[in-house]
């Protein structure tokens, strides 16, 4: 639904990662490129994208040394910049057109941020990997499949999903457009639980913590695609939540199967794992990388690389634990087959144990340093089965009873997005309801969000320390009310169609909503 | 600037210390005054001393010169004529340049003004000055002034000693550049164009790099900075700003700067680039820095620059009628446009037959006349182009100041109409004096326009007289001015602007406390700009209404087919009362429209 499509074949989108510390010598410019999509673009064209980006980064630093180029708006394209790590830049070039490809820059930048955050979680920083193998083969061979998997995360998401999309559908690359203006990437969607259920969840969390003994385990609990509980830091919560919704929740596991079988039917390629076009371009790219790679392992190092975002590699075992062979590929290199990730907050490597009971998914994170390899992991799993599974069953029952389905958070008459910036939590009208809005209303809201993004950016750059307080209420040409409210780190966006024409009506509507659903956060008095 | 100077300035580009000789102010002042006493050096823009006092006088040989050169009347020859007129200006430039100073005579006056405002902390610095506000110009000494913000502004280019290697240059809040498509600098708001050749080439490279990729760059954003590009054939315009103005506003400003350039040169300047891509345009614009800097200054106080409407001086209906009648008389005798203005406000204007004048053309023309000191000293006859009327051809403007602020402009297509227009002016002046129009104008200047404090509580009876002052009786102008302390209008109303769409005119209330410093006025102006851009989105606009509240204001905007209203309130203003107040403002404007608008003028059918 509702996302804009750009045909990759018609070079509708370009996506690159480059390192400004590399390839400074003339003739070695290619060395800068760590990733480029589409990979079959001639090098001259790749270098042209990177040359322009680098030129503008340098140019803008003349005037704005602390914040270099963020976006280039040209008539036909937008170039979105993100400095993921010092001197490591991600640039996405999207084509514009009149009908659907109308982008909100901040939403696109959040895609870049997300893919980088996920990369950090699984592989650590790009810079570290470059330093490990300065020729660049290692980082390239990691980035390429990772980002292609991210872009191709090929399951069609359900209507319930608010936040995570898959970008490559067939030949079309799906990016967040104006139609997604009532969504916020990089936030977590929470389940509202009753007090009774909350107590049960707390007790489960305590049980899980008790497994750790002297060390500390972390846990994340989801119901459907909504977060119930976390003991992780906000940044790690967002990353793991994003991953879980993409790959681990019951919906992710099941929808993968169905959409995948459909794709298989249409595809004659023997490469089942990746999907047709991507597989082809991936191999093209690997050849490219090899041709310029002088590092010895060049040829077959791709076999050792875990591809955590690869679709349909997770399944639910009979014991309730989610299993995958993604990390198993590394077994030969004597590492564990149990998935591991990096926590940004504590900079420790942890095992990921995911256990699922019906709609309830538990992710327990066990520091690698605290237990003895696979044996330790099995011991922890045993403890979950013995001490936690019954509690989970009860909790699942309770939550399912109270769960109103995918339209649970629909508020009749309103189409809204509520973002709590301090907690990185968002809640929004169900996507199925948002699609009832006219294109004009969505465009108007997208524009207002762009204005708000700019204002927020200014606040950040100015380091003013004061919190933005803003109220915008627009009666659009199609008579819809388009509303943005920013106050005390919270943001509320709203579209009211078929509403009365006075401003007072609109602000009453906000007031009611605020009192009822936001504890009065946006109420005036 | 000769064509090879760009290559030599490449060295200066990296040199943070400009030629010490060039900064020696007394020497330049000498040159400046030397130039001023030379009767041959007639360019108006040069004859401006540091403190803005008029030193020179413009003889009518200006007119003679044009007559001599432009008998052909063809556009091309007009341009050559312009070139020859300008040559006389650059002539002095060469003379001045000889004794080791790179400054042209055009710069001499400006440098004077830069020494006047100087580096005493008056200029704009990010985070510098007072609280890092977005003020650009000499706010330090004027923070508490209740004057119009433009009153404190010093004309002319400042900081010519800077270039892109200077930290101070890089920290200017708003740069404007004009360059040619070969990368040659034509104009820079700050710094010496010659020294900015390298920087100019960079801008050109960015534009052409994107163009080679089959696209056209519009905007680059970095932190709080925006770089806005506008390509007009062989002319490139670039703005680099951290003023928080929306892209659409900055782009509109570049359009106006381009229009100002056309007003001086016409679009036929493009042919010079067709003949010679390396053509150096700077001599053609020699001495016009002050015109551009004055236009750029108006971007921060004159709503006409984004509303695309003009404003009138409030006058009794009969008075304006009297002025209009005599202008109409003249227009019937072969004058294309007859415009009577007081500062940037229109008293009356008349167009011949179906000729209509675009508000942007009026803005650029008024700016050209007001920023050039020479027009003030004696009658002048000058070739000008109205870019919206006909960008290819010169018209001829007869300009004469009737008093210190009031000036008459008679526009014609005929290059030898000087004496006829002079006769017209004499007739007009006599009628205006006899009918007391000029004294009414001065009185209106003193009284000001609409004050939010005067917003009627109840709708006025439609019949009956509305004067003496916009419907609100006052004892006398004298007794009102002295003790008058504005307190803002009812319901926290601080300010409003009303634009009549059909008339192409707007009216803006006088500034009242708390919007009483130039800095606060500029901030409100910028808030209006944002509101305007938000309402008039190209794709989905215009919206119908907008209510916007932040820590500074409550802003209300209302766009209908007939008018647009922009109003600013105290941020704590009650929404319901504010809306009622807006309705009253609209009613008030309608009640006094006879006095604040020029009605029944020829329709501006654009």
Q: How far is CA A285 from the centre of its chain?
A: 24
How far apart are the CA of A89 and the nearest CA of chain B, in angstroms?
Answer: 14
> Which chain B residues are within 8 Å of A474, Cβ to Cβ?
534-535, 543, 545-547
Percent of chain A with pLDDT over 70: 81
Give the mean model confidence (pLDDT) for residues A404-422: 91
pLDDT over 60 (residue A194): yes
Contact B179, B186 (CB under 8 A): yes
> Which chain B residues are within 8 Å of A472, Cβ to Cβ?
534, 546-548
d(CA A277, CA B223): 37
Which tokens sit at B162? Answer: 């800077």
CB-based contacts of A272, cutoff 8 Å, min separation 6: A264
pLDDT over 90 (residue A433): yes
pLDDT at site B486: 54
d(CA B315, CA A13): 59
B240 and B355 share one domain: no
d(CA B303, CA B496): 11
Is B589 inside any structural domain?
yes
d(CA A393, CA A396): 5
Give the mean model confidence (pLDDT) for residues A166-181: 70
A335 and A298 share one domain: no
Is B219 inside any structural domain?
yes
How far apart are the CA of A73 and the nearest CA of chain B, in angstroms?
Answer: 5
B96 and B22 share one domain: yes
* Domain of residue B528, residue span: 449-596
pLDDT at site A57: 97
Q: Across A80-84, B194-198, B508-512, which has the greatest mean pLDDT?
A: A80-84
d(CA A336, CA A20): 35
A379 and A496 share one domain: no
Q: What CATH number should be reported for the domain holding residue B152?
A: 3.30.450.70
Per-residue pLDDT of B11-24, as tens digits, reads: 333 333 334 333 33
Give the mean model confidence (pLDDT) for residues A381-402: 93
Is B126 inside any structural domain?
yes
Q: Across A265-279, A335-349, B435-449, which has the greatest mean pLDDT?
A: B435-449
Residue A485's CB is within 10 A of a number of other CB atoms, namely: 26
pLDDT at site A190: 94
A501: closest chain B residue by CA: B545
Mapped onto helix, strand or coil, the DSSP state of residue B64 is helix
Choose among B483, B495, B501: nearest CA to B531. Answer: B495
d(CA A72, CA A79): 5
Least confidently predicted of A337-351, B119-133, B567-581: B119-133
A235 and A263 share one domain: no
A288 and A313 share one domain: no
Mapped onto helix, strand or coil, the DSSP state of residue B221 is strand
How far apart are the CA of A291 and the nearest CA of chain B, in angstroms?
Answer: 27
Is B566 inside any structural domain?
yes
> Which chain B residues are within 8 Å of A462, Cβ to Cβ?
132, 224
pLDDT at site B31: 33
Choose among A398, A415, A434: nearest CA to A495. Answer: A415
Question: Is the preceding peptide bond at B542 cis, omega within 30 degrees of 0?
Answer: yes
Residue owning tokens 């950016």: A457
Report the residue count for chain B: 606
CB contact under 8 A, B543 and A66: no
CB-based contacts of A318, cutoff 8 Å, min separation 6: none
B474 and B560 share one domain: yes
B557: closest chain A residue by CA: A474
User: Mutating which of B126, B131, B221, B530 best tests the A interface, going by the most A Cβ atoms within 10 A?
Assistant: B221
A363 and A446 share one domain: no
Least confidently predicted of B132-146, B277-291, B567-581: B132-146
B546: closest chain A residue by CA: A474
d(CA B365, CA B322): 24
A275 and A361 share one domain: no
Residue B447's CB is within 10 A of a number of other CB atoms, namely: 17
Higher pLDDT, A448 or B123: A448
How far apart are the CA of A238 and the nearest CA of chain B, in angstroms?
Answer: 26
Number of compact structural domains in chain A: 3
B113 and B77 share one domain: yes
A175 and A51 share one domain: yes
**Which of A376, A402, A428 represents a domain boundary (last residue)?**
A402
CB contact under 8 A, A73 and B170: no
Least confidently predicted of A289-293, B3-7, B293-297, B594-598: B3-7
Average pLDDT taken over every residue of chain A: 83
Is B353 inside any structural domain?
yes
B508, containing H or E segment: strand B505-508
B219: closest chain A residue by CA: A73
Is B571 inside any structural domain?
yes
Which tokens sit at B507? Answer: 């009216």
Is A407 inside any structural domain?
no
Least confidently predicted of A478-482, B89-93, B303-307, B462-466: B89-93
* Domain of residue A451, residue span: 415-517
CB contact under 8 A, A51 and B209: yes
CB contact residues (below 8 A), chain A span 77-116, against chain B? 77, 102
B266 and B319 share one domain: no
Least confidently predicted of A19-23, A497-501, B333-337, B533-537: A497-501
Provide the edge-to-edge strand list for the sheet that holds A172-175. A4-7, A172-175, A168-169
Is B606 inside any structural domain?
no
Q: What CATH number should be reported for the domain holding residue B363?
A: 3.30.450.30
Q: How sure is the predictor about B354, in pLDDT bands with cuts at 50, 70 and 90? A: low
CB contact under 8 A, B202 and A59: yes
pLDDT at site B163: 83
Is B581 inside any structural domain?
yes
Q: Where are the beta strands (DSSP E) in B41-200?
A: 174-180, 185-188
Per-residue pLDDT of B152-195, as tens digits, reads: 567 667 777 788 888 889 999 999 999 999 999 999 999 888 88
Per-residue pLDDT of A148-162, as tens digits, reads: 988 876 333 333 343
Is A187 inside any structural domain?
no
CB contact under 8 A, B548 and A444: no
Higher pLDDT, B374 or B471: B374
Give the mean model confidence (pLDDT) for residues A465-492: 90
A23 and A164 share one domain: yes
A239 and A284 share one domain: no
CB contact under 8 A, A474 and B222: no
Higher pLDDT, B281 or A290: B281
B389 and B414 share one domain: yes
Choose among A42, A87, B539, B523: nearest CA to B531. Answer: B523
A514, containing H or E segment: helix A503-517
Least confidently predicted of A282-286, A317-321, A379-383, B546-550: A282-286
Per-residue pLDDT of B479-511, as tens digits, reads: 444 434 556 788 899 999 999 999 999 999 999
**Which of B259, B276, B301 represents a domain boundary (last residue)?**
B301
pLDDT at site A26: 86
CB contact under 8 A, B215 and A76: yes
B495 and B584 share one domain: yes
CB contact under 8 A, A70 and B539: no
Q: How sure is the predictor about A295, in pLDDT bands with cuts at 50, 70 and 90? A: very low
A433 and A498 share one domain: yes
B77 and B206 share one domain: yes
Query: Count of CB contacts below 8 A, A vs B?
Result: 144
pLDDT over 60 (residue B40): no
> Which chain A residues are within 8 Å of B543, Cβ to Cβ?
444, 474-477
Q: Indicate the DSSP class of residue A25.
A: S
Is A100 inside any structural domain?
yes
How far apart are the CA of B279 and the nearest CA of chain A, in angstroms?
Answer: 26
CB contact under 8 A, A458 and B224: yes
pLDDT over 80 (residue B84): no
Percent of chain B with pLDDT over 90: 55
pLDDT over 50 (residue B3): no
H helices present in A78-158, as ranges: 105-123, 126-132, 137-152
> Which chain A residues are within 8 Å of B530, Cβ to Cβ?
451
From A52, A70, A466, residue closest to B222, measured CB to CB: A70
Higher pLDDT, B602 or B97: B602
A219 and A75 share one domain: no
Give the mean model confidence (pLDDT) for residues A319-341: 73
- CB contact B238 to A (< 8 Å): no
Is A190 inside any structural domain?
no
pLDDT at site A464: 60
Contact A326, A334 (CB under 8 A): no
pLDDT over 80 (residue B534): yes
**Which of B428, B446, B464 represents a domain boundary (last residue)?**
B446
User: Mutating which of A63, A178, A522 best tests the B interface, going by the most B Cβ atoms within 10 A?
Assistant: A63
Average pLDDT taken over every residue of chain B: 76
Choose among A232, A220, A407, A471: nearest CA to A322. Answer: A220
From B213, B218, B539, residue closest to A48, measured CB to CB: B213
Which tokens sit at B62? Answer: 């200006």
How far apart are the CA of A71 and the nearest CA of chain B, in angstroms?
Answer: 5
pLDDT over 80 (residue A302): no
Q: How sure is the predictor about A466, in pLDDT bands with cuts at 50, 70 and 90? A: low
Which tokens sit at A394? Answer: 């009860």
> Which chain B residues are within 8 Å of A70, Cβ to Cβ?
221-223
Mapped onto helix, strand or coil, the DSSP state of residue B228 is strand
Q: How sure is the predictor about A396, in pLDDT bands with cuts at 50, 70 and 90? A: very high
Q: What CATH number should be reported for the domain holding residue B592?
A: 3.30.450
pLDDT over 60 (residue B220): yes
**Which of B250, B274, B301 represents a domain boundary (last residue)?**
B301
ipTM of this complex:
0.87
Q: How sure is the predictor about A215, in pLDDT bands with cuts at 50, 70 and 90? A: confident
pLDDT at site B192: 87
Q: What CATH number should be reported for the domain holding residue A458?
A: 3.30.450
B428, containing H or E segment: helix B418-434
H helices present in A36-136, as ranges: 43-63, 105-123, 126-132
H helices present in B266-316, as ranges: 269-275, 289-298, 304-307
B362 and B385 share one domain: yes
A133 and A101 share one domain: yes
B166 and B257 share one domain: yes
pLDDT at site A208: 93
pLDDT at site B70: 36
pLDDT over 80 (residue A192): yes
pLDDT at site B72: 34
Is A422 inside any structural domain?
yes
Least confidently predicted of B86-95, B171-180, B591-600: B86-95
Is A335 inside any structural domain?
yes
Number of compact structural domains in chain B: 3
CB contact under 8 A, A447 and B545: no
Pairing of strands A322-324, A340-342: unpaired
């Amino acid at each position: 639904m509702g996302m804009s499509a750009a045909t990759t074949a018609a070079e509708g989108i370009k996506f690159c990662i480059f390192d400004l510390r590399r390839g400074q010598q003339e003739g070695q410019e290619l060395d800068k490129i760590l990733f480029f999509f589409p990979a079959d673009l001639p090098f001259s064209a790749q270098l042209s994208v990177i040359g322009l980006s680098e030129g503008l980064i340098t140019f803008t630093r003349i005037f704005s040394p602390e914040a270099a180029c963020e976006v280039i708006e040209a008539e036909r394209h937008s170039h979105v910049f993100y400095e993921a790590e010092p001197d490591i830049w991600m640039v996405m070039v999207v084509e514009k057109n009149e009908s659907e490809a109308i982008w909100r820059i901040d939403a696109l930048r959040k895609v870049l941020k997300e893919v980088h955050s996920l990369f950090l979680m699984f592989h650590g920083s790009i810079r570290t990997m470059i330093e490990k193998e300065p020729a660049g083969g290692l980082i390239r061979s990691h980035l390429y499949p990772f980002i292609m998997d991210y872009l191709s995360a090929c399951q069609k998401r359900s209507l319930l999903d608010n936040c995570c999309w898959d970008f490559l559908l067939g030949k079309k690359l799906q990016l967040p457009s104006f139609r997604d203006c009532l969504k916020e990437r990089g936030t977590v969607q929470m389940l509202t639980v009753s007090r009774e259920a909350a107590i049960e969840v707390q007790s489960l969390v305590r049980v899980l913590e008790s497994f750790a003994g002297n060390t500390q385990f972390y846990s994340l609990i989801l119901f459907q695609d909504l977060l119930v509980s976390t003991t992780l830091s906000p940044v790690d919560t967002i990353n793991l939540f994003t991953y879980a919704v993409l790959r681990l929740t019951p919906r992710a596991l099941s929808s993968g199967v169905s959409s995948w079988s459909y794709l298989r039917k249409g595809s004659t390629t023997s490469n089942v794992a990746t999907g047709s076009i991507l597989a082809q371009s991936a191999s093209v790219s690997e050849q490219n990388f090899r041709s310029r790679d002088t590092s010895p392992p060049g040829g077959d190092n791709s076999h050792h690389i875990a591809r955590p975002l690869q679709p349909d590699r997770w399944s639910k075992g009979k014991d309730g634990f989610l299993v995958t062979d993604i990390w198993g590929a590394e077994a030969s290199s004597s590492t564990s087959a149990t998935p591991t990730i990096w926590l940004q907050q504590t900079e420790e490597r942890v095992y990921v144990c995911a256990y699922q009971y019906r709609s309830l998914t538990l992710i327990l994170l066990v520091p690698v340093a605290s237990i003895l390899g696979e044996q330790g992991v099995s011991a922890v799993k045993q403890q979950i089965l013995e001490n936690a599974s019954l509690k989970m069953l009860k909790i699942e029952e309770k939550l399912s009873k109270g769960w109103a389905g995918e339209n649970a958070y629909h508020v009749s008459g309103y189409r809204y997005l509520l973002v709590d910036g301090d907690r990185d939590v968002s809640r929004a009208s169900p996507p199925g309801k948002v699609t009832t809005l006219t294109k004009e209303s969505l465009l108007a809201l997208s524009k207002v969000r762009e204005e708000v993004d700019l204002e927020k950016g200014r606040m950040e750059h100015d380091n003013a320390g004061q919190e933005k307080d803003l109220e915008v209420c627009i009666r659009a040409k199609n008579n819809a009310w388009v509303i943005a409210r920013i106050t005390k780190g919270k943001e509320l966006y709203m579209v009211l169609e078929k509403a009365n024409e006075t401003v007072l009506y609109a602000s009453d509507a906000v007031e009611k909503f605020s009192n009822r659903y936001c504890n009065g956060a946006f109420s005036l008095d | 600037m000769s064509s090879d100077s760009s290559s030599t300035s490449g060295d200066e580009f990296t040199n943070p210390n400009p030629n010490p000789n060039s900064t020696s102010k007394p020497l330049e002042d000498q040159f400046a005054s030397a130039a001023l006493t030379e009767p041959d050096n007639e360019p108006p823009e040069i004859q401006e001393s540091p403190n803005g006092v008029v030193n020179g006088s413009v003889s009518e040989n200006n007119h003679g010169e044009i007559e001599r050169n432009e008998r052909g009347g063809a556009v091309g020859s007009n341009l050559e004529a312009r070139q020859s007129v300008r040559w006389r200006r650059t002539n002095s430039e060469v003379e001045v340049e000889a004794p080791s100073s790179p400054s042209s005579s055009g710069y001499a006056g400006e440098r004077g003004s830069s020494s006047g405002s100087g580096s005493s902390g008056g200029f704009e610095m990010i985070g510098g000055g007072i609280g890092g506000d977005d003020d650009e110009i000499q706010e330090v000494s004027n923070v508490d002034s209740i004057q119009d913000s433009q009153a404190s502004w010093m004309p002319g280019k400042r900081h010519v000693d800077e270039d892109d290697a200077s930290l101070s240059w890089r920290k200017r809040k708003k740069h404007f550049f004009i360059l040619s498509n070969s990368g040659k600098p034509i104009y820079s708001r700050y710094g010496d164009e010659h020294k900015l050749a390298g920087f100019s080439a960079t801008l050109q490279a960015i534009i052409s790099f994107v163009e080679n990729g089959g696209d056209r760059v519009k905007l680059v954003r970095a932190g709080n900075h925006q770089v806005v590009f506008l390509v007009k054939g062989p002319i490139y315009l670039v703005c680099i700003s951290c003023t928080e103005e929306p892209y659409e506003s900055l782009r509109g400003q570049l359009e106006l700067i381009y229009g100002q350039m056309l007003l001086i040169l016409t679009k036929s300047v493009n042919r010079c680039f067709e003949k010679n891509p390396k053509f150096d345009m700077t001599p053609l614009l020699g001495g016009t820095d002050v015109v551009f800097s004055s236009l750029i200054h108006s971007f921060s106080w004159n709503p006409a620059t984004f509303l695309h409407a003009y404003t009138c001086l409030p006058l009794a209906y009969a008075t304006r009628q009297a002025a209009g009648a005599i202008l109409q008389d003249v227009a019937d005798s072969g004058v294309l446009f007859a415009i009577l203005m007081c500062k940037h406000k229109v008293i009356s204007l008349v167009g011949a037959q179906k000729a209509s004048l675009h508000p942007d053309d009026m803005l650029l023309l008024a700016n050209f006349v007001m920023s050039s000191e020479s027009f003030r000293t004696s009658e002048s006859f000058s070739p000008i182009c109205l870019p919206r009327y006909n960008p290819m051809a010169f018209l001829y403007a007869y300009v004469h100041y009737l008093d210190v602020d009031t000036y008459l402009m008679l526009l014609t297509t005929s290059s030898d109409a000087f004496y006829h227009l002079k006769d017209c002016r004499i007739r007009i002046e006599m009628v205006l004096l006899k009918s007391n129009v000029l004294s009414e104008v001065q009185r209106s200047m003193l009284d000001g326009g609409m004050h939010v404090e005067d917003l009627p509580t109840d709708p006025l009876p439609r019949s009956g007289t509305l004067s003496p002052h916009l419907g609100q009786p006052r004892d006398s102008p004298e007794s009102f001015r002295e003790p008058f302390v504005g307190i803002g209008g009812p319901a926290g109303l601080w300010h409003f602007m009303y634009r009549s769409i059909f008339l192409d005119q707007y009216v803006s209330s006088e500034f009242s406390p708390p919007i009483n410093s130039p800095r606060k006025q500029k901030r409100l102006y910028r808030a209006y700009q944002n509101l305007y851009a938000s309402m008039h989105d190209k794709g989905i606009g215009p919206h119908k209404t907008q209510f916007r509240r932040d820590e500074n204001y409550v802003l209300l905007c209302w766009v209908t087919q007939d008018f647009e209203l922009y109003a600013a309130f105290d941020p704590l203003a009650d929404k319901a009362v504010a809306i009622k107040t807006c309705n009253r403002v609209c009613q008030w404007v309608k009640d006094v429209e006879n006095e604040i608008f020029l009605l029944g003028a020829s329709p501006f059918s654009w």
